[in-house]
Structure 1
Amino acid sequence: ANGSMGHHEVVIHPGIHLGVAVDLDHTGLVVPVIRDADHLGVRALAEAVADLAGRARAKRLTADDLAGGTFTVTNPGPAGTFLSTPVINQPQVAILSTEGVRRRPVADGDAIRVRPVGVLSLAFDHRAFDGAYAGAFVAQIRDGLQGEDWARRL
């Protein structure tokens, strides 16, 4: 999913330059880029997102801040969405949307429990990869999120 469309081929990028969709208070949207995001921990990623979002809303981003993304994440959840269809930021081949989290009944063995449930939505270019690959990618993200002890990690 970390790729882009070239003239006639898919280009797979070795480093992840993460585009982060930032709403400009309903006056537009920009996608600044966190370079080499795959080398950052959770805290450093959060700090980078906060910095870029703040500079975006203050209209202090540079052209370099907006260039070179290889994969984008968007989060319309705070606007109240539970499922949306994100639009791919071309020439990238995929975008992941993290939707709102709501308390929902879920099966836990033979019991029903109320737990927080969130939805991940991946839009992808079928010229780059097929649905089975996309599904496995989202499942890997889900498993990583569910399997992490976030209280300890943060």
Structure 2
Amino acid sequence: MTRKGKRLTLIIGALAALGLAAGLILFALRDNIVFFYTPSELAQKHVAPGARLRIGGLVKEGSVVRNGRDISFTVTDQTKDLAIAYTGLLPDLFREGQGVVVDGQLQSNGAFKADSVLAKHDERYMPRDVADALKKQGVWQGEKK
């Protein structure tokens, strides 16, 4: 075999090994790649208690109960609800009807003990300079005030 043939064989072998390694990593992480689960997806997955997860949805209206630093609320996706317990300070954007993502563990009683709460801002948010530029161009499609 010539020198070029040996080099080509080595390159093909290295690419095959790299592809196999990437495939094995993606297969092992297939359940952890998801950013968060909704309460409905969580109910379908039948996750074991104690598993670390991220749950996302809307804070259900009238569900927030504060007892000092202990806060309980319900996250909903309009189909299923999940009770959340959290101890600590909540983000400024946290409120009923607003989107949240909570990180924590599923408890044996079916509730969720959150370690952190992330409030999602309005998806229609746009920086002022970008909005002003769009207004100048006449293509602004924001809310009418």
Fold conserved between structures, TM > 0.5: no
TM range (shorter): under 0.3
Rg comparison, structure with higher value: 2
Higher relative contact order (CA closer than 8 Å, sequence separation 6+): 1
TM-score, scaled to structure 2: 0.25
